[in-house]
Amino acid sequence: MRFAYYQRLSVAQQRVYRQSDAVTEVPLRRPATLRPWVERVREALALGERQALLDATAALGAALTRRLEVPGVEVEVLETRPSDDAGELHGLYTWAPGQRPRIQVWMRTAKRGRVVAFRTYLRTFLHELCHHLDFLWLELSDSFHTEGFFQRESSLFQQLVPPAGAPKRSETADTGKGSTSTRRGQR
Q: Does a structural domain hold residue 89?
A: yes
Q: Hey, CA dihedral for 42, 47, 53, 56, is it positive or negative?
A: negative
| Radius of gyration of the CA atoms of the chain, in A | 17
C-alpha to C-alpha distance for 90 and 106, rounded to whole angstroms: 6
Name the domain count of the chain: 1
Q: Indicate whether 64 belongs to any domain.
A: yes
Q: Which residues contact 125 (CB under 8 A, 6 or more apart)?
A: 41, 57, 60, 61, 75, 91, 103, 105
Pick the closest to residue 125 from 40, 185, 183 (CA basis).
Answer: 40
Angle in degrees, CA 84, 86, 91, rounded to 5: 75
Percent of the chain with pLDDT over 70: 88
Question: Distances in Å between the alpha carbon of 162 and those of 35, 167, 180, 186?
Answer: 10, 9, 18, 26
Within-domain flag for 130: yes
* φ and ψ at residue 84, rounded to 5 degrees: -150, -165
Query: pLDDT, tens digit, for every residue of 23-42?
Result: 999 999 999 999 999 999 99
The pLDDT confidence band at residue 166, using thresholds 50, 70 and 90, is low
Give a yes or no: residue 181 inside a domain: no
Full DSSP string of 78-93: EEEPPEETTEE--EEE
**Local structure of 76: helix, strand or coil:** strand
- What pTM was computed for the model? 0.86
Would residue 184 count as lying in a domain? no
**Residue 79 φ/ψ, nearest 5 degrees:** -70, -90
Please give the residue range of the domain that contains residue 88. 27-160
User: Given pLDDT bands bounded at 50, 70 and 90, which one contains residue 176?
Assistant: very low
Contact 122, 38 (CB under 8 A): yes
Q: Establish if 185 belongs to a structural domain.
A: no
Average pLDDT over residues 51-76: 98
pLDDT digits (tens, 9 = 90+) for 145-164: 999 999 999 999 999 998 87
- The answer to whether residue 177 sits within a structural domain is no
Residue 20 forms part of a structural domain: no
Q: Tens digits of per-residue pLDDT, 4-26? A: 999 999 999 999 999 999 999 99
Are 129 and 103 in contact by the 8 Å Cβ rule? The answer is: yes
